[in-house]
Amino acid sequence: MNEPTTTSPTEVPARVDVAFPLAGERVPIEHGYGLFGAMCRVLGDLHGAPWLSVHPIRGVSTGDGMLGLRAHNLALRLRVDPAELLRVLPLAGSTLNIEGHPVMVGTSRVFALEPAGELAARMVIIKNGVEREEFEGCLQRKLEAMGVSAEVEIPTRPTLSAGPHEDGRRVLRIRGQYIVGYPVILRGLSAEHSLRVQALGIGGRQRFGCGVFSQVWSRG
């Protein structure tokens, strides 16, 4: 599992977001494993890299299991240790083949993490195969261990592409293996706790787009 290394509640690793525009038509909505594999083909083996988390690609659902890409949108975002920036900058100018869908990667921009009272993750994986109630308990224990206080919501509607399941569960497919997780929204975060959640993430498979928290943006 891609979980952060053991860290005390007061010890937060340095992280920044590196964002790239993507030029292409569409990519699968469920692209976490495919995107990571495409990145490894360009950058070399990134397995076991504790300094890297990958945001889900930003796009617009086309209603057929695909995401449409918008021109000039910084669709690809990586959360990295600043000391490792040079490892990921060569993505610019490359072509990523994401499960048969080629996209061209544009010039990078680097952003500092900013505190926000509300954060969301498209999918959080703590323990595979758990039901919603057990997941909520595991999540609360994770937050307590991190020293984070927040109001927790697990959407049951498609707010975060939560999928067709009534309890909101999502499924990550890796080489025929199906791993269950849930979308999570955290509210009422202090600035300190917000930055801690963003820097550490929650749960495993963070290189596949899971457990990576970002600010909640309104549709406007």
Is the Cβ–Cβ distance between 195 and 202 less than 8 Å? no
Residue 1: predicted pLDDT: 46
Average pLDDT (20-49) is 95
Q: Quick check: is 5 in a domain?
A: no
Burial of 57 (0-12, 13-18, 19+ CB in 10 A): buried
Q: Are residues 107 and 183 in the same domain?
A: no
The pair of structure tokens assigned to 195 is 């930055």
Residue 161: predicted pLDDT: 43
Residue 153 maps to which CATH number?
3.30.70.1210
Give CA separation, 193 vs 62, 115, 134, 187, in Å: 35, 8, 23, 11
**205 by DSSP, 3-state: which?**
coil
pLDDT at 160 over 50: no
Q: Are residues 106 and 80 in the same domain?
A: yes
Structural domain boundaries enclosing 37: 16-112
Predicted TM-score (pTM) of the model is 0.88
Q: Which residue has the tokens 């990921």?
A: 88
Number of domains in the chain: 2
Residue 127: predicted pLDDT: 85
Q: At what angle do helices 191-200 and 132-146 cross, to 10 degrees?
A: 110
Residue 168: predicted pLDDT: 79
Q: Quick check: is 77 in a domain?
A: yes
Q: Are residues 44 and 107 in the same domain?
A: yes
